[in-house]
Structure 1
Amino acid sequence: MRTRWRSVLALGLAGVVAAAGFAAFSVARGIERVRADETAAVDAAWATVARAVGALPATRRTPDRIREIVRLFDGDDFVTVTLVTPAGALRDRSSPPRRTAPAPAWFARLIVPSDAGRRFDLPGIGALRIDADPARPVDRLYADTLAGAAALLALAGLCALLADRTFRRLTGPLDRLRLRLEQAGGGDFSVRAGIAAPDDVAVVGAAFDRMVGRLAEVRARDARIAAQMAEAEDEERRALARDLHDEIGPLLLAIDVDAAAIRDLAAGPPDPGRDAAILERARTAGAAVAAVKRQVRALLGQLRPGSTQTIGLAQTIHDQVAFFALHHPRVDFAVAVPEEGFGESVDVALAAIVREAVANALKHGHPTRIEIEVALRDERIRLKVADDGGGLKRPAGEGWGIVGMGERAAALGGRLSVDNRFDVPGVVVSAVIPPPGRTGAAVDGEEAR
């Protein structure tokens, strides 16, 4: 808004300066022209008077005849001829021209000096005084100067109006865009600029629309991920509660029973078989403790935060498999993962995809074998999780887990597919991800397999 008013004011001031400059230039040129014309007119009038007086015989040079000479200059644009007595009293004066729009006296004084004129003496009669009086030329100069200055001011005003309209046309969409930016900054990504013209501003508006559209997509994706994380956390809590209750709880109860039995045996009367009974109870308690350790180790491997950063991709996946194998002892797991990972971000995504794919296979199918493979081939990181659990029960992509796996792969510039196997009834989850430092273009046009 301030830029608009500054520009309009600058144009207005430029118009005023131009009008003032034109007026000054016009007056300066007018002074030169009028003064040159009045000097020539005074000289010409003096010559006319001299000829007219010289044409009269001395006996006829009477005041009445001289008045006839004065009448010759009635209505003259540049001079006034005055007949005065020897004492300087006024006898007669030529009539001034008719003036429709007289210039101000200050303007006339600026143009015509007060002492401009000549005198023609007439012995015995007085004198004819010829004074410069360019009234109508001065009036015309004043009118022309005003007209030119007014025209320049009008032109400047028109330019200012056009500039104001142009700025309104430009700043109106910009103001709307500023408002939309404030709304988007407040978190409302549903707003759109809706700017059609002018073209330059429309390009910015279209870029804004694309930006908020992407931000809305990112927010929706974040919401989906948050929902998935919340669901995964709830599932992990439920699984942890089940494991503690179903697996560790009975073992702790068995340890408690064995410890109570050992205490009772130790407090009882001596018996030849007491020592053997105590040893047997201690052995079973030790076995229960070992089982608890295995359970706790499996739980820690499943729950350890950032495990790929501390123990690597291969060990993380092996710990995941150990956890699943503990709860699904009838499933055979085959794991082929390189010892060296591919970088923190890629390793975290691969481990998450493997965990989700295996969990889906166990949750939605009845597999007897699950194969996990991660390899670097043809300058691509390729992941495959295949099971023989019966195949897809619904179109791929409908579940939150599949969506989450796809988003993890896409975030790294890769692609993910979930299909039925062709060799046996089962599902294969495949992902192709470019190595770190490569862009997503590396897998453009290539189907994940």
Structure 2
Amino acid sequence: MISEPVPAAAADSRRRLPSLWSGRPMRARLMVVVVLINLVAAAVSGAVIIIKARTATQVETAASIAVAEPLVAETLQLMQDAPVPGLFRVLTLRFQALRHVRVRLLDANQAVVEERPGSGPEARRRAPAWFARLIAPPVLSHEVPLVLQGRRIGTAIVTTEPSDEIDEVWGYAVALGLTGATLSIAMLAILFFAFGRLLRPLERLAEGLTRLEQQDYSPRLERPDTRELAVIAARFNRLAEALEGARAANRQLNRQLLTAQDDERRRTALELHDEFGPCLFALEANAASIGRIAGTLEDPARLRLQQRTDDIAAIVKRVQTINRALLSRLRPAGLGQAPLNACLDLLLRDLARHNPGIAIEGDFRALRRSYGDLVDLTAYRCVQEGVTNAMRHAQARRIAVRAAEEAASLVIRVADDGIGLRPETKAGRGLPGMRERVEALGGSLTLDRPGSDAGTVLAAVIPVDAAGTDAPDGPEMSPA
């Protein structure tokens, strides 16, 4: 079966309607539904009023026509001896009491004698023409002969005229419509504020979920009055508590893992320093001793031994250089024995010595002597990684490093004047490793890019114990 293609205009309208409805606030949707219900109720009420009014008007006009003939017969019976002009005047006066009809009196020659004054529909109609067309029943006309003393003296033509009845119905409909509109507006206003109050817990729930998405598990929702929303709020609070507990446990595990890693590195560094270092020194001393012994020999043995001892000495020096680099990576020299600010100053001087074209400034005067092995090592690595990245990737000519204790946290900032991080720059392992280490201590690490050519700011915030007893060390504690 082949379906007919849908016209483009119909398809556009179908796409436009969901776009107008989707994404709207719930309060707006509820208000639209209530307004549509009111409009449907108003349309149904209007239809009922029109049907009832049309039926009532038809009954009223038919009853008025039915009253006209007995009224003429009664008048003629009472005025058998009256002159014809007087009879017509009396009939006119009596017809004025009739409603919903128009009466025209004709004489025997079919000439108009009297017509009920003010009976024209346009003279008194207040209802709109469209409303009159909806209400007005079919026009009926009835001729009543006027017979006096056995002689026909004229005719009374009675025609239905429901204008006054339509005016009454219009007035009733206007009053009812104004009353209904006022009540609907008042109801919409009440519902607007009521929906806002009922939906406010959902707004707080959305804000809480946003904060949970941002890994902030501290928000708690108040218990709403609505039972269903109270259940949701209770479940949300339990979820936040569970996530907060899981994060605390995860931080504790990460902290224990870092402690174990640092202890292992410390032991490895100690073994390299205490075991491997003396062995290298012994090799170097033995090579020098062999060189001295070779000096007592004659050529060509002396030259061959001297060349071998020089090769052994070169290899030993290279291994010693590699050993010192390994020791520095495993455990920076002096960290834990010297004050933290002295270690950081020494790090910056060493980096500046190997990069003479870059100005590196450091301000660590407000630091305590130590914040513990984990925090000290993390701060050292953050400064080392931040300065290294600025020199390697940002092409910076000036780097400013500052570390201070602010609000029970150690705040480290590394700012440079380089080209900033480009979108095509690939992320290495250093920065993600530092972020994991800082977050394991309950802190945060951010990389801010003020602009494409405004450099980069690396900021690390590490919570510390505010009850530390070590006083801040001044610049005189730094090694020369």
TM-score by length of 1: 0.50
Larger radius of gyration: 1
